[in-house]
Structure formats: C-alpha cells, structure tokens
Amino acid sequence: KRKLQLSPEQCSNFYADQYGKVFFPNLTAYMSSGPLVAMVLARHCAVSYWKELLGPSNSIRAQRTHPHSLRAIYGTDELRNALHGSLSISTAEREIRFMFPEAILEPIPGGQRARDYLNLYIKPTLLAGLTALCKEKPADPMIWLADWLIEHNPNKPRLQHRITEEEHQ
C-alpha cells in the first residue's frame, strides 16, 4: 500500500496504452488532481478476482448491471469510477513496477510447490505448537498458540549470549 500523488506526466506514462483516445487528457488531468492510494492484491487469480469486485469501468452502467460492485458503490461516472484494475497479468506486473519500483515480484506458489512449502516450513512448527497446546490446555488457546508461535518462530532473529569478562573468570 502506498499513498502518492502523480504528476500529469506520470499519469500519461501510466496510462500510455490509452494515449490518443478522446478521454485521455481528462483522464490524466483527473488522475493527477489529487492523492491516490496504490495497492497490490496478492492471491491466486488476483486480476480476474479484482475485476469481478470492480465491476464495469463505467460506474453508471455498473450501478445498473452490477449494483454491489465497488465502482457502482463508490464511482460517479466513467472517468471518476473510483478504482483502477489491471486488465491482465502482464499489465499488472508493469503497473506494480510503476507504482512500487522497489518491489520484488514473485509468483504465489500453487499446487505441489505450495504443498512442499507447507510441509517443509509450516507444518513442523505448527504441529509442535498444537502438541504443546494440547498438553498445556490453556484457558485461552488462541492467544496461547499465537504467543507460542511468536516465541518459537524458526525465522526469528536470535541474539547470541556474549560472555563478559566477569563471566569468563
């Protein structure tokens, strides 16, 4: 998530694929008229999921055909449709790099890769935590398990104890 304000030139670069269309000058003027919040949605099939939540780009049409969509609820017309969504995965990658130049884009693992990751990194710690939870039987098991997982996080930085002169003697 990042809050920023784009210049007209930055908006022109961001919407370069719309250049030459009748609405392009109004689009760049509107998009550079105030701050905006850029966010990245990371999930399986993120582009299609987000497009479904957005609804049609024309907010007036969205109010008729997709009344529960975000553009129907928050948009006012085709230009001021409240939200932007990438049209494809390749467009999303370009737009993420534009808004978040420091971001490292990595695919979300799925299928066997996800299962392998869970088996290697998540299950051992979670199994140990759930076993300890069953033995302890605390009054508030959710809080207890959350605290246990924080304390036993294998990726948590560990400080090594330094031996002082007094301890050495």
Q: Is 106 part of a structural domain of the chain?
A: no
Does 23 share its domain with 69? yes
Q: Are residue 19 and residue 94 in the same domain, yes or no?
A: yes
**Tens digit of pLDDT for each residue in 106-160?**
877 888 998 999 999 999 999 999 999 999 999 999 999 999 999 999 988 876 6
Q: Provide the domain limits for residue 91.
A: 2-99
Residue 167 has pLDDT above 70, yes or no: no
Tally of structural domains, the chain: 2
Catalytic sites, residue numbers:
84
Note whether residue 104 is domain-resident.
Answer: no
Counting Cα atoms < 13 Å in the Cβ hemisphere of 95 gives 20
Which has the minimum average pLDDT: 67-76, 134-143, 160-169?
Answer: 160-169
Q: What is the CATH number of the domain that holds 65?
A: 3.30.70.141
